[in-house]
Amino acid sequence: MKISANMNGFSLVTVVVIVGVVGVLGLVGYNVYSRQQDDKPTASTSQPTPTNDQANSDDVAEAPEIKDTKDLDEAEKALDAVNVESSNDDSQLTQDLAAF
């Protein structure tokens, strides 16, 4: 093949070297990105969970420990006795809907 003076372009070796360098840079970038994602705290760990001392006593009654079906039946009766419709406090629902 005769090469003329005004022939321009990249050789195959140049293209392979460039593709290799771009590939190595991509792999290094991916590893750095994945390590940063692993090191970020999740939303559930960044907010403290309330303890029994912090919770209001009128928010929720403490759940009994269920060991057999008799305990389960008693818990069901206690839940059925709660009148959900009498609660006019919909602020938590409004906040959840606004966040959605």
Inside any domain, residue 72: yes
For residue 6, give the amino acid letter: N
Inside any domain, residue 18: yes
Residue closest to 72 by CA, chosen among 62, 80, 64: 64
What value does the mean pLDDT of the chain take? 76
Inside any domain, residue 55: no
pTM: 0.35
pLDDT 10s digits, 26-53? 999 999 999 988 877 665 555 555 554 5
Residues of the domain holding 83? 12-40+64-99
Residue with tokens 């060991």: 67
Which structure tokens are listed for 41? 């705290």
Please say whether the beta carbons of 65 and 71 come within 8 A. yes
Q: What's the pLDDT score for residue 71?
A: 85
Q: How confident is the model at residue 87 (pLDDT cuts 50, 70, 90)?
A: low
Based on the structure, what is the number of domains in the chain? Answer: 1
